[in-house]
Structure formats: C-alpha cells, structure tokens
C-alpha cells in the first residue's frame, strides 16, 4: 500500500488502542473483550494479507503488530488478522469459513510432526484454529474452553483432543519457511512495541515522581538505567525491522535466519528493558492495580513464544546452506 494508506491504517490501530486499551487487570472482562474485537473486525484488516500479492507488505504488518503491542489490548490482531490469513494465502485459500486463529503446542511452540495437546493462541473472536505440522500439513480444529495463560489480556483456548480434524492443505517447503519466518517476525514486532512503550512510560514517570524533593529522573543511577533500557529497545527495533524487510526482499532461508536472530535478541533485550522499567516504577509496579505487570506478563511470556533463545541459538549454529 502507498504511504498515505498505510498511515491511515496505522492511525486506525492507534485509535483502537486509545479507545480499548486496558489500564489494569480488573478491566479485562468478557464485555470489554467482545467490544474491542468487534471494533477491530469492523476495520477489515484481515484483508491485508489475504490476497496474492497481499495488500500490505510484511514490513507494514510488522509495524502494525508493533503498534498493537504498545498498549495492553484484548484484541486478536496477530492471531486472526495477520497470521491466520497469511497461512490461508500461502495455501491458496483466499477465503475461509469462519474466523480461524493459530494453533500452537501447550508450551506455545510450533507444533511437531504429530500435533497433539494443542491450544488456540490469540483466539479472541475466533471459531477455529489452524495448525501447521512440522511436515507442512495444515489442519483445522474447532475450539474448546478457555485455557489459562500468564498473559492476562490475550485469549487462549484449549483444543479438545477428540475434536474433528479437517485437513486444509499442505505447505510447500519454501512456503513453510516463509510461514515460520512471518510468524516469528510478527510476534517479535509486537514484543518490541510493548517493551518500547513501557520504557517510555517509565521515563515519563521518572520525570514526575519526586523523592527527597527532586524528580527521580534527576538521579544519575535512574538515568543510566533508562538510557540502557532505551538502547536495548532501539537494538530490538532495528533487528526486527530488518527481519521484516528480509521477508519482502531476501530468499526464504536468509529471511528465516534474520527472523531467528531478531527473536533471540528480543527474547533477552526486551525483557531486560522491561525489568529496568519495573525498577524505575518501584513498588507501585508490583501491585495488581498498576498496568506494569500486564506489560511484564506479555513480554515474559513472549520471550518463550514460538521459540526460546536456546532453540534459536541452536538453529543459528547450523551452517547456512548457500547455493
């Protein structure tokens, strides 16, 4: 899409965040979830990656995911709007009955050769889940009851072990590489947005919070802490946006390597940045009513989502095949 069109779409996501972003865990209720998801669905953003070629580039989708992560939102932008439509596009299924999301293992990893014990991740507004096996087979399964999650704003549903399984199609090896890369980039971009926003809020808090008659932001130790956190966020932003660029411009193998590097970096650096912000907020960040733990939960869980740092470093240690 052209620049003006993308700016309009991004501003729509920002407006959604302003209207429906929660400020405490007590605001996460079924009624607020439903209203926020309906507002997102009314935007029609699922069409961004539904056609071939898609209306939005991977870079633009990553920026939208980053914007979505800046506020605690109960909406399923990643699962039902960005990831599931991309998977259907790769299968050549431009339309699909209902609203699917993405299926992961109970540990929130990519499924193996025989997917079992699955959950529907980011499932607000979804009625089924698409699961990609290690061999590239894509199946659809109906959703079960809600499943517990450390991330209080994200909806996760169980997948009944006896639920009927429908085979949707099979991904060719290049498409499977693209799918894994795209999923890693989108998830990583949202974590970058969350960490960046939280550090910005910590900086603003340091300007207004006063101790011993002075703003805590005037203390050198606090300044160093926030400066280091800002550098970490900038590093995360740079490596993630480069990985998104690779999706649009590099071969699948090279793009996957860039996505793995980005996720490994963000897994550690974004979490460290959020920890720094928690220290700046002090005791208030440890309370249930404060917004801080919603960011901490999102980034802490996100650091293990799809692939842990250990998983990624092991994969990156394998020499890259050159042709």
Q: Check which CATH number belongs to the domain holding 288 and give it.
A: 1.20.140.10
Q: Is it the case that residue 53 has pLDDT exceeding 90?
A: no
Last residue of a domain, one of 151, 171, 191: 171
Query: DSSP assignment of 73-97, as one string?
Result: ----IIIIIIIHHHHHHHHT----S
Listed residues 171, 202, 233: the one ending a domain? 171
* Shared domain check, 159 and 16: yes
Total structural domains within the chain: 2
Spatial distance between the Cα atoms of 292 and 287, rounded to a whole number of angstroms: 8
Predicted confidence band at 213 (pLDDT cuts at 50, 70, 90)?
confident
Range of the domain at 281: 175-316
User: Does residue 304 fall inside a structural domain?
Assistant: yes
Half-sphere exposure of 270 (CA within 13 A, CB side): 37
pLDDT interval class at 94 (50, 70, 90): low
One domain for residues 218 and 156: no
Question: Are 64 and 209 contained in the same domain?
Answer: no
Average pLDDT for residues 186-215, to the nearest whole number? 95
Entry pTM: 0.94
Phi, psi of 132 (to 5 degrees): -110, 115
Q: Strand 118-121: give its sheet, edge to edge.
A: 157-158, 118-121, 100-105, 128-132, 137-142, 165-170
Residues 6 or more apart whose CB falls under 8 angstroms from that of 212 comprise: none
- Per residue in 249-306, pLDDT tens? 999 999 999 999 999 999 999 999 999 999 999 999 999 999 999 999 999 999 999 9
Q: Which residue pairs, CB below 8 angstroms and at least 24 apart, start in 253-256?
A: 253/177, 253/320, 253/321, 254/320, 255/177, 255/178, 255/181, 256/177, 256/180, 256/181, 256/184
**Pair 123, 272 in one domain:** no
DSSP summary character for residue 44? T
Residues 202 and 62 in one domain: no
Q: Which residues, in sequence order, are CB contacts of 94 under 8 Å at separation 6+?
A: 50, 51, 52, 88
């Amino acid at each position: 899409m052209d620049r003006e069109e993308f700016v309009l779409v991004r501003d729509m996501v920002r407006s959604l965040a302003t209207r429906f972003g929660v400020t405490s865990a007590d605001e996460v209720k079924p009624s607020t979830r439903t209203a926020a998801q309906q507002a997102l669905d009314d935007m029609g953003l699922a069409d961004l990656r539904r056609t071939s070629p898609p209306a939005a580039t991977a870079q633009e989708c990553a920026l939208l995911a980053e914007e979505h992560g800046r506020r605690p939102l109960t909406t399923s932008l990643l699962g039902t709007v960005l990831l599931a439509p991309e998977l259907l596009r790769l299968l050549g299924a431009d339309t699909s009955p209902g609203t699917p999301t993405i299926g992961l293992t109970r540990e929130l990893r990519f499924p193996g050769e025989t997917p079992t014990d699955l959950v529907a991740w980011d499932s607000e507004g979804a009625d089924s889940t698409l699961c990609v096996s290690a061999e590239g087979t894509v199946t659809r399964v109906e959703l079960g009851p809600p499943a517990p999650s450390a991330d209080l704003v994200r909806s996760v549903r169980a997948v009944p072990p006896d639920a009927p399984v429908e085979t949707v199609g099979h991904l060719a090896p290049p498409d499977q590489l693209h799918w894994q890369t795209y999923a890693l980039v989108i998830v990583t971009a949202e974590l970058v947005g969350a960490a960046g926003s939280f550090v910005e809020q910590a900086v603003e808090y340091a300007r207004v919070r006063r101790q011993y008659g002075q703003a805590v932001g005037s203390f050198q130790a606090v300044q160093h802490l926030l400066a280091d956190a800002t550098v970490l966020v900038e590093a995360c932003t740079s490596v993630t946006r480069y990985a998104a660029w690779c999706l649009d411009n590099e071969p699948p193998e090279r793009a996957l390597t860039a996505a793995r590097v980005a996720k490994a970096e963000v897994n550690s650096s974004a979490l460290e940045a959020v920890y720094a912000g928690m220290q700046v907020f002090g005791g208030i960040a440890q309370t249930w009513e404060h917004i801080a733990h919603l960011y901490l939960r999102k980034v802490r869980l996100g650091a293990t989502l799809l692939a842990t740092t250990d998983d990624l470093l092991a994969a990156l240690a394998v020499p890259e095949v050159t042709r």
